C-alpha cells in the first residue's frame, strides 16, 4: 500500500507538470488583443525582436518552474512521511542527546537539511536560467551565500514556532490552532518590524540615497502627501541583478522606502518620481496594515483548516504515514505539506487583493505626478529589464501576479494621458 501511494503521488506530480508544460508552451495565448496592438502597451513598440523572443522564452520556463516548485514541496513532505524518514529523524534526534529540549531542534535540522537538498536542484535551475538570460548578474558563491542565509533564517524562525505549536497541541489538542494564532499576531508584527532593519541587511547593504538632488525631489513629494519621511534608502543590487525594483516595507519607526540602485541607474528622475509616488500611495492608503490584517485573518482560517486536515489524514492514513497522533513531532512534514497547499490554494485571492492595491497605488501616483509619459516609459523599462510578459497567461496571472500585468498598467496610464491631453 505504501509503495502504491508513493507511485500514485509521483505519477500525479508528473501529470500535473505535463499539464502546465502543455498549457504554457502550447495552449496559452499571450498575443495582445487587437485593440491594444500598436498602443504604448504593445511590447513590439518598445522591445526589439530579440527582446520579444527572449521575453517569451524566459517567461515560459520561469512560469513552469514556479508551477512545479510548490507541488514538489508537497511531494517531498509526503514521501518523507510515507517512507519513514520522519520517523528516522525522530530516532536520530532521540539517540543524539538525552536532553529532550534539544531533541526537537535536532529533528528540525534534519528535516530542514533534507528539504534544502531536495529543493536545491530547482532553485539552482532558477538561478542558472536568470543568469542565461542576463537577468541575474550574481556569482555562484554570492547566490550560495544567500541560499544559506535563507536556510538559517527559515530554520531559526521555525525553531521558535514549532516547539510552541507542539507544546500547545499537547496542552489543548482541540484548540491549539486558536492559541497558536493568537501568539502569531505579536510575532508577525515583531518580524515585520525586524525585516528592514535586521533581516534585509543580511543580504545587501542599505544606505540613504546618495543623489541628494533626487532625494530632495522625493521628500518634496512625500511632504505633499503628508508623509513624515526623512530618508529614502538605496540598496546595492547591481552585483546581483539587472532587474529593477522599489518597495516599501516595515512598520512604525522601521518603515522604509527602498530603491534598487539598478532602478536609479536605468531610469531618469521623472520616472523615479512616479515610482516613488506609487510607493507613497501604498503608505497613504495604509496598504501595509491592510495586508497584515488580511494575512492574520487568512492565517486564522489556515491554522484551523490545518488542524482539521491533519486529524483527518492521520485518522485515515496514519498507519501508512507512520503517525499515530497529531501531537507527535513526526507529524511536522504533514503540517508543512498542508500549510503549503493552503497557501497555494489561497494565493489567487491574496494576489487579487494585492493587484487591486497596486492599481490604487498606480492611480495615486499618476494623480500626484501628472506625468503619464514618465510613468509609461518607466513600466516599459521595467518590462525590458526583467523580460516580463506584457500579457501573461490567465493561470500565471491568477497564481503568480501580485501586480497588474504591464498591459493593464500601461493601458490605464494611456487612458489617463488621452483623457487629460487637452486639459
Q: What's the whole-number mean pLDDT along residues 43-51?
A: 89
At 122-161, the pLDDT tens digits run: 999 999 999 999 899 999 999 999 999 999 999 999 999 9
Q: Hey, is 241 helix, strand or coil?
A: strand
pLDDT at 179 over 70: yes
List the one residue out of 147, 10, 152 whose CA is nearest residue 82. Answer: 10
pLDDT at 423 over 60: no
Strand order in the sheet with 206-208: 206-208, 233-235, 256-260, 246-249
Cα–Cα distance, 1 to 396 (Å, whole number): 36
- Main-chain dihedrals φ then ψ at residue 325, nearest 5 degrees: -150, 140
Q: What's the whole-number mean pLDDT along residues 185-203?
A: 85
Is 26 within any annotated ligand binding site?
Answer: no
Overall pTM > 0.75: yes
Widest pairwise Cα distance in the chain: 79
Q: What's the whole-number mean pLDDT along residues 256-265?
A: 87
- What's the grid cell of residue 412? 490605464
Is 316 within any annotated ligand binding site?
Answer: no
Residues pairing with 257 in the sheet: 248
pLDDT at 169: 94
pLDDT at 186 over 70: yes
At 345-373, the pLDDT tens digits run: 999 999 999 999 999 999 999 999 999 99
At 373-386, the pLDDT tens digits run: 999 999 999 999 88
Render the burial of 261-298: b for 16+ CB within 10 Å, e for the rest. Answer: bbbbebbeeebbbbbbbbbbbbbbeebbeebbebeeeb
Q: Hey, is 421 helix, strand or coil?
A: coil
What's the mean per-residue pLDDT of the chain? 90
pLDDT at 220 over 90: no
Is 278 within any annotated ligand binding site?
Answer: yes
pLDDT at 1 over 70: no
pLDDT at 253: 65
How many alpha carbons lie under 13 Å from residue 393 in its C-beta half-sphere?
21
pLDDT at 307: 95
pLDDT at 7 over 90: no
Q: How confident is the model at residue 320 (pLDDT cuts 50, 70, 90)?
A: confident
Cα–Cα distance, 27 to 259 (Å, whole number): 37
Q: Which residues are catalytic?
A: 279, 362
Amino acid at each position: 500500500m505504501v509503495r502504491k501511494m508513493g507511485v500514485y503521488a509521483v505519477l500525479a506530480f508528473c501529470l500535473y507538470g505535463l499539464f502546465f508544460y502543455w498549457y504554457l508552451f502550447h495552449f496559452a495565448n499571450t498575443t495582445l488583443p487587437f485593440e491594444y496592438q500598436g498602443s504604448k502597451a504593445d511590447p513590439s513598440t518598445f522591445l526589439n525582436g530579440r527582446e520579444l523572443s527572449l521575453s517569451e522564452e524566459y517567461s515560459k520556463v520561469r512560469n513552469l518552474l514556479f508551477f512545479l516548485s510548490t507541488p514538489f514541496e508537497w511531494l517531498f513532505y509526503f514521501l518523507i512521511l510515507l517512507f519513514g524518514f520522519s520517523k528516522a529523524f525522530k530516532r536520530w534526534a532521540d539517540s543524539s542527546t538525552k536532553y529532550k529540549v534539544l531533541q526537537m531542534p535536532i529533528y528540525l535540522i534534519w528535516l530542514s537539511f533534507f528539504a534544502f537538498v531536495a529543493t536545491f536542484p530547482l532553485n539552482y535551475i532558477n538561478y542558472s536560467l536568470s543568469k542565461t538570460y542576463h537577468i541575474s548578474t550574481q556569482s555562484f558563491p554570492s547566490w550560495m551565500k544567500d541560499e544559506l542565509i535563507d536556510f538559517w533564517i527559515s530554520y531559526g524562525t521555525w525553531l521558535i514556532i514549532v516547539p510552541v505549536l507542539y507544546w500547545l497541541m499537547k496542552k489543548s489538542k482541540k484548540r491549539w490552532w486558536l492559541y497558536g494564532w493568537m501568539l502569531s499576531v505579536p510575532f508577525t508584527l515583531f518580524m515585520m518590524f525586524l525585516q528592514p532593519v535586521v533581516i534585509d541587511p543580511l543580504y545587501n547593504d542599505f544606505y540613504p540615497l546618495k543623489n541628494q538632488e533626487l532625494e530632495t525631489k522625493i521628500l518634496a513629494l512625500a511632504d505633499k502627501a503628508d508623509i513624515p519621511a526623512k530618508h529614502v534608502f538605496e540598496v546595492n543590487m547591481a552585483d546581483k541583478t539587472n532587474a529593477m525594483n522599489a518597495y516599501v516595507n516595515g512598520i512604525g519607526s522601521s518603515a522604509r522606502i527602498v530603491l534598487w540602485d539598478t532602478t536609479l541607474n536605468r531610469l531618469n528622475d521623472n520616472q523615479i518620481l512616479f515610482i516613488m509616488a506609487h510607493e507613497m500611495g501604498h503608505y497613504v492608503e495604509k496598504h501595509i496594515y491592510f495586508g497584515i490584517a488580511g494575512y492574520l485573518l487568512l492565517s486564522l482560517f489556515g491554522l484551523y483548516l490545518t488542524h482539521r486536515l491533519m486529524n483527518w489524514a492521520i485518522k485515515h492514513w496514519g498507519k501508512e504515514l507512520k503517525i499515530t497522533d497529531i501531537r507527535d513531532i513526526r507529524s511536522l512534514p504533514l503540517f508543512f505539506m498542508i500549510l503549503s497547499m493552503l497557501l497555494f490554494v489561497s494565493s489567487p485571492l491574496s494576489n487579487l487583493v494585492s493587484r487591486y492595491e497596486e492599481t490604487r497605488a498606480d492611480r495615486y501616483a499618476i494623480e500626484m505626478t501628472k506625468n503619464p509619459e514618465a510613468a509609461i516609459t518607466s513600466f516599459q523599462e521595467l518590462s525590458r529589464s526583467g523580460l516580463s510578459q506584457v500579457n501573461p497567461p490567465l493561470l500565471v496571472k491568477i497564481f503568480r501576479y501580485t501586480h497588474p500585468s504591464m498591459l493593464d498598467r500601461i493601458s490605464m496610464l494611456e487612458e489617463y494621458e488621452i483623457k487629460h491631453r487637452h486639459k
